[in-house]
Amino acid sequence: MRSSFIPLLLPVAISALTFDCEQIRDDGQSFNLKSLGGPKTVHDQEWLPSPPTIKNTTFTIDICKPLKDDAKKGEKCPSGSRVCAKKWNYRGSDAPYLDTVVPIAGEYTTSHGANRGLDPKFTRLKGSAGNSDEREGILVELHGGKYPDDSTGVTQKAIIEFLCDKDVTGNEGFEDEKSVVDATQYQGMQKRADDDDDGKPELPDLDKGKSLEFRSYKLEDETQVLRLRWRSKYACEGMANSGGGSSDKTKGWGFFTWFIIIVFLLAAAYIIFGSWLNYNRYGARGWDLIPHGDTLRDIPYIVKDWTAGIADKLKGQNSRGGYSAV
């Protein structure tokens, strides 16, 4: 009995350790965030006066599948990452250089062969503690990261607050972004900073117009926590049940559904009008009411004769074995 019960528990255990962006559920509500899939980036910039340096930390996230990083060796996010940070330094006239790559959340295999998974946790915002303004959406917590990957490493995690906003899809502002900012742009700002009295440049808004917003990245209870806020209509309750993550598929099924309905209505209108005409003009009753009633009654016999004829032809060809009669 116990051994037969174990296979039933396996799917539950697997689903608890993995993250399917199409099937997020908490407190009786479902969310489909498939339309927000694909790599998205936000930035955190900092000015350091001595020596004059601008730090740009780029956070990349893909909530539906592991990131694909085409960077050269030593600059790649570790395989299995869903959330990853790259810290770039811009100093003087030098080209930007990558300081560190930090895996924040994902499914990783350590150098010792151990596994660290996403271990996703979901919290429905509406009705949750601390949500006084009754915001609608879902809070997603992802784990697995550690930097550096040794005994001194700090545990990492990402908390993404998906907020309901019916006016945006959540994919706005990512069309023309770059993973690394042009060095000349920062060099110009550093030069202007040297000329100003306060010596601090006005950093550009690299995330202007984006639905994804960087909130903080700091140590909380011995864990380095990245907090993001993502506004999207797909975070609204009820969107998953109405096909929120697959609008194209819904439109396709809608077309065929309407086509079948229109054909059915036309056929019904033809039969009803024809029956009414036969009744009033010819006083028809029963099968005679239906337009082309004789043809409809003969359809089974026509099909039977046609299939019988095809069967006879096939039987005749097989009996001759492929030779013609002399």
Tell me, yes or no, whether 238 and 256 share the same domain: no
Tell me, yes or no, whether 195 and 123 share the same domain: yes
Q: Which of 187, 212, 242 is the last residue of a domain?
A: 242
Tell me, yes or no, whether 103 and 180 share the same domain: yes
In the predicted model, is pLDDT for residue 130 greater than 80?
A: no
Tell me, yes or no, whether 230 and 256 share the same domain: no
In whole angstroms, give the CA distance from residue 212 to residue 19: 20
Token pair of 124 as six digits = 């429905």
Where in the sequence is the domain holding 254, given as residue range(s)? 249-319
**Residue 6 confidence (pLDDT):** 40
Tell me, yes or no, whether 93 and 135 share the same domain: yes
Please check whether residue 326 lies inside any domain of the structure: no
Tell me, yes or no, whether 131 and 69 share the same domain: yes
In whole angstroms, give the CA distance from residue 307 to residue 291: 26
Give the mean model confidence (pLDDT) for residues 201-230: 93
Tell me, yes or no, whether 190 and 287 share the same domain: no
Please check whether residue 325 lies inside any domain of the structure: no
Which residue has 């700091």 as its token pair?
218
Tell me, yes or no, whether 131 and 161 share the same domain: yes
Please check whether residue 256 lies inside any domain of the structure: yes
Number of Cβ within a 10 Å radius of residue 23:
14
Confidence of residue 317 (pLDDT cuts 50, 70, 90): low
Three-state secondary-structure class, residue 254: helix
**CA-closest candidate to residue 227, choices 105, 106, 81, 136:** 105
Confidence of residue 3 (pLDDT cuts 50, 70, 90): very low
Number of structural domains (the chain) is 2
pLDDT per residue as tens digits for the range 5-38 = 344 333 334 434 568 999 999 989 999 999 999 9
Task: Report residue 22: phi and psi, to 5°.
Answer: -90, -15
pLDDT per residue as tens digits for the range 167-212 = 999 999 987 766 566 666 676 666 665 555 556 777 888 899 999 9
pLDDT per residue as tens digits for the range 282-291 = 777 776 777 7
Tell me, yes or no, whether 178 and 52 share the same domain: yes
Token pair of 11 as six digits = 């799917």
